[in-house]
């Protein structure tokens, strides 16, 4: 027989402590929220920044050199690496969602497995492309 003391206290309120320390987001949940966050950041400031770089680099040889110098600074390299990661994660997570939309891999085991694959693929492509930046 379960007593009130052994039972989990209900209802469970979603305060900040609960969100930060008590509730564990399952792995596909992390893939999902990262897809959302990366998408938002690619919209702003990502696209704005990319357009600025494209504009400057295509204007003239000086503009191109200027962009190269700018991108050679370490804070820019950090930003480029972050951009690459956001893009790659969004890319692979997006492909996973296309598969899920087609009802491929929707059971719990496959979904967790494909979630891991997305995180690993995003990290590996970021390492690969990031190594060309640094």
Q: How many residues bind another protein (CB under 8 A)?
A: 24
Is position 18 an interface residue for another protein (rule: CB under 8 A)?
no
**Rounded Cα–Cα distance for residues 48 and 44 (Å):** 7
Please write down the HEC assignment for all residues of 4-34: CCCCCCCCCCCCHHHHHHHCCCCHHHHHHHH
**33 scored as a contact of another protein (CB under 8 A):** no
Residue 64 binds another protein (CB under 8 A): yes
Q: Which of 14, 51, 116, 124 binds another protein (CB under 8 A)?
A: 51
Q: How far is CA 103 from CA 29, 36, 91, 94, 97, in A?
A: 18, 21, 19, 14, 9
Interactions with another protein, residue window 66-125 (CB under 8 A): 87, 91, 94-95, 98, 101
Minimum CB separation from another protein for residue 105, in Å? 16
Inter-residue contact 122 to 89 (CB < 8 Å): yes
Tokens for 98, please give them: 């296309």
- Chosen residue from 23, 25, 58, 116 binding another protein by CB under 8 A: 58
For residues 23 and 27, what is the distance between their CA atoms, to the nearest angstrom? 13
Q: Which residues bind another protein (CB under 8 A)?
A: 36, 39-40, 42-44, 47-48, 51, 54-55, 57-59, 61, 64-65, 87, 91, 94-95, 98, 101, 132
């Amino acid at each position: 027989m379960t007593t009130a003391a052994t039972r989990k206290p209900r209802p469970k309120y979603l305060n900040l402590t609960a969100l930060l320390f008590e509730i564990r987001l399952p792995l596909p949940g992390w893939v999902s929220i990262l897809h959302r966050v990366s998408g938002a950041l690619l919209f702003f400031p990502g696209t704005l920044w990319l357009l600025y770089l494209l504009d400057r680099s295509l204007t003239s040889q000086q503009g191109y050199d200027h962009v190269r110098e700018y991108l050679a600074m370490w804070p820019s390299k950090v930003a480029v690496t972050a951009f690459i990661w956001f893009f790659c994660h969004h890319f692979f997570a997006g492909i996973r969602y296309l598969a899920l939309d087609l009802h491929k891999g929707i059971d719990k085991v496959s979904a967790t497995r494909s979630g891991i694959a997305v995180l690993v693929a995003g990290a590996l492509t970021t390492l690969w492309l990031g190594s060309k930046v640094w």
